[in-house]
Amino acid sequence: MSEHTNTAPSSQPIENKGQSKVRNFLTKLGLPTTIVAIAVSIYSFYFTGESPDVVTDFIDQVEQTDKKKEEKLPDLVEAIDNYLPTSTTNKTIRHDYFTLSYSEKHEQPEWVAYELYGDSLKKAKVERHSSFKSDPMVETGSAKPSDYTRSGYDRGHLAPAADMAFSEEAMKQSFLMSNISPQEPAFNRGIWRELEEQTRDWCLTSEHFYVVVGPVLTQRAKRRFGENKALAAPRSFYKVLLDLRGSDKKAVGFMLPNTKSDAPLSDYMVSIDSIETLTGIDFFPELPDDLEENLEASFSPFRWPYDEERFRMRVGTWNNEAAYSQVLE
């Protein structure tokens, strides 16, 4: 007596290699299932039998290009692990958690550069340090905390204390005056705070950023104050973010006036090239020329979505709190 096995018919038709390739490719892009199914159906209708399959040829080219990029990525990242922007002052100072280029003429850094890791942001946060100190590594002497007393300006962090909250020593170093620049209270406690928090949110997704941040010292100062009127209050600040670790390599710059703002962060997105032109600083000189040109010449706002609820909080609450506290001071 022979045995028979009854197999229920599949509810879905068997796909050929072309259909499977299209489905897998579109799924990797994160498209909704319905859209993927419609696209596969359209593909099946137009590309059957002996029809020239330009669609799968295109997919093959994209996947081969991505594979080559992934193969080159480790060497690229390793090559710029010791990256630094150029210094127009020739006074570069390396601390454990960030590096800076100091401008004696303005008694503040022209840039502060550091690496921000998503893993570090996930660690338990140490208590916020609150003691600003002069930087002993600045041979000519950095600004002093007392220079800001009754100046009307905040001691504005460039490498944020919250970015350094994974380590007591890192937090302590972030309060060195060589990491500080004069900021209007409504700026520091408003849009600058928003950009700092948004950067951390982006990094939690992207896992790693190269960050360069600083005042624009090529513009005439808003005001001079402190000992010998050496401290220059900048008119603008910039921040540059570079993401090389993920498959979606991207970069963006921000140029923000040192004042209160009710506009969204997207209004201040600019190309890195434009910041380099204004400041005279080359931010990522160790990048291969073709990649540097591509990343620094343009940016895609949709790849940097900001938190609209935080934006409303800034406009509706933070800006008002900053204005009120300044009156009390």
65, 157: one domain: no
pLDDT of amino acid 89: 95
pLDDT of amino acid 167: 93
The pLDDT of residue 107 is above 80: yes
127, 21: one domain: no
Catalytic-labelled residue, pool 95, 106, 129, 157: 157
Within-domain flag for 296: yes
Within-domain flag for 139: yes
pLDDT of amino acid 283: 94
88, 66: one domain: no
Within-domain flag for 2: no
Residue 121, number of CB atoms within 10 A of its CB = 18
For 56, the domain range is 17-45+52-78
151, 272: one domain: yes
Instruction: Report percent pLDDT > 70 for the chain.
Output: 84
Q: What is the pLDDT of residues 67-91, one digit of tens each?
A: 554 444 444 545 455 678 999 999 9
Average pLDDT (48-68) is 67
245, 303: one domain: yes
187, 58: one domain: no
CA distance 282 to 94: 18
Residues in Cβ contact with 41 at an 8 Å cutoff, skipping those fewer than 6 apart = none
Give the model's confidence band at 65: pLDDT under 50 very low, under 70 low, under 90 confident, else very high.
low
The pLDDT of residue 136 is above 60: yes
Three-state DSSP at 213 gives strand
Strand partners, 233: 223
What CATH number does residue 241 fall under?
Answer: 3.40.570.10
Residues in Cβ contact with 326 at an 8 Å cutoff, skipping those fewer than 6 apart = 152, 185, 186
Instruction: Report percent pLDDT > 90 for the chain.
Output: 60
Please list, residue by residue across 87-105, b when 16 or more beta carbons sit within 10 angstroms of its beta carbon and e when fewer do.
Answer: bbeebbbebebbbbbbbee
Within-domain flag for 7: no
The pLDDT of residue 113 is above 70: yes
Give the model's confidence band at 66: pLDDT under 50 very low, under 70 low, under 90 confident, else very high.
low
The label of the residue with tokens 């390793």 reads 78
CA distance 79 to 250: 17
The pLDDT of residue 179 is above 80: yes
User: Of the candidates 287, 115, 112, which has an alpha carbon nearest to the alpha carbon of residue 213?
Assistant: 112
Handedness of CA 14, 15, 16, 21 (dihedral sign): negative
Q: What is the mean pLDDT of the chain?
A: 86
pLDDT of amino acid 148: 95
107, 151: one domain: yes
CA distance 176 to 327: 27
The pLDDT of residue 6 is above 60: no
Give the model's confidence band at 7: pLDDT under 50 very low, under 70 low, under 90 confident, else very high.
very low
CA distance 285 to 41: 47
Contacts of 46-54 with C-beta under 8 Å, sequence gap 24+, read 47/18, 53/18
70, 92: one domain: no
Lowest mean pLDDT among 41-45, 240-244, 269-273: 41-45
Q: Tokens in use for 180?
A: 């500080």
pLDDT of amino acid 47: 74
Within-domain flag for 178: yes
Environment class of residue 214 by beta-carbon count within 10 Å: exposed (0-12), middle (13-18) or buried (19+)? buried
**Selected residue with higher pLDDT from 47 and 152:** 152
Within-domain flag for 3: no
25, 105: one domain: no
Within-domain flag for 10: no
pLDDT of amino acid 260: 96
Within-domain flag for 199: yes
User: How would you classify the pairing of strands 223-225 and 269-270?
Assistant: unpaired
Residue 304, number of CB atoms within 10 A of its CB = 19
**Selected residue with higher pLDDT from 37 and 111:** 111
Among residues 78, 94, 125, the one where a domain terminates is 78
Q: Tokens in use for 307?
A: 């938190």
CA distance 68 to 145: 51
121, 41: one domain: no
Most confidently modeled of 2-6, 227-231, 309-313? 309-313
Average pLDDT (306-310) is 94
CA distance 67 to 242: 21
141, 251: one domain: yes
Give the model's confidence band at 8: pLDDT under 50 very low, under 70 low, under 90 confident, else very high.
very low
Decide: 236 and 218 in contact? Cβ < 8 Å.
no
The pLDDT of residue 40 is above 50: yes
The pLDDT of residue 28 is above 80: no
157 labelled catalytic: yes
Decide: 110 and 87 in contact? Cβ < 8 Å.
yes
The pLDDT of residue 130 is above 90: no
pLDDT of amino acid 73: 45
pLDDT of amino acid 67: 56
Lowest mean pLDDT among 159-168, 228-237, 243-252, 319-328: 319-328
134, 255: one domain: yes
Count of the separate structural domains present in the chain:
2
pLDDT of amino acid 329: 47
